[in-house]
Amino acid sequence: TKQQHLEKLSKELGAHGVVVGENYRFGYKASGDASDLVRLCEEYGMGTYIIRFVMDKNQDPRNIDSSDLKERGQVSSTRVCHALAEGDIKYVSELLGRHHCLIVMVKDHKEIFMTSSNCRVSARKSGLLNLPPKDGLYENCSLFFGDENPVRRVFIDSVHVHLDMDAPYLYNYDKFQDFEFLGIEFGE
């Protein structure tokens, strides 16, 4: 039931709040909606945040079927995943309302190769915590570890994500060794 769903979230899972879209349904046969969720969360002392639909500004209005939100251009994770699969970083940024940031878990710092003029950091795709764009070469990227650092290019192949940087930007190699995660922000 709706009540049992919230009880499980609150008591068994220890949730302090929920964030859902305005079309969220829950409970037996999806009998609960966002307004039910707000009311029940109040009863359980949980915060609730309902996210309004975000529409794709690039959707051609001539192809809109007003009865189907997806056809009307509702931004969804499916749209973002398709744009990533196409490697269309500009469109991904438009859909997200921000640049896409790829999070990489660095498991083996031995894959860091440095020369006098540049640095190449390679991380296995198996260490990715979210979806990368399709395999290929990307420019206008930034690497986040402490401070934002420009990356000359990011190359993604079937096994690795490779970052090519100028050596001066990797100003503190020892500090870099301490990072378990890297954030790569893709520009347009």
The predicted pLDDT at position 86 comes to: 95
When pLDDT is cut at 50, 70 and 90, the band that residue 152 belongs to is confident
The predicted pLDDT at position 57 comes to: 77
Mean pLDDT score of the chain:
80
The predicted pLDDT at position 77 comes to: 84
Report the range of poorest mean pLDDT among 6-15, 16-25, 60-69, 137-146. 60-69
For the cut 70, the answer to whether the pLDDT of residue 107 exceeds it is: no
Report the range of poorest mean pLDDT among 9-13, 43-47, 116-120. 116-120
- The b-or-e profile of 63-76 (16+ CB within 10 A means b, else e) is eeeeeeeeebbbbb
The predicted pLDDT at position 105 comes to: 79
Share of the chain above pLDDT 70, in %: 76
Angle between helix 89-96 and helix 77-86 axes, rounded to 10 deg = 160
Indicate left, alpha or beta for 163 from its phi (over 0: left) and psi (-120 to 50: alpha): beta
When pLDDT is cut at 50, 70 and 90, the band that residue 63 belongs to is very low
For the cut 90, the answer to whether the pLDDT of residue 131 exceeds it is: yes
Share of the chain above pLDDT 90, in %: 43
Residues 6+ away with beta carbon under 8 Å from 68: none
The predicted pLDDT at position 52 comes to: 83
For the cut 90, the answer to whether the pLDDT of residue 149 exceeds it is: no
The predicted pLDDT at position 32 comes to: 93
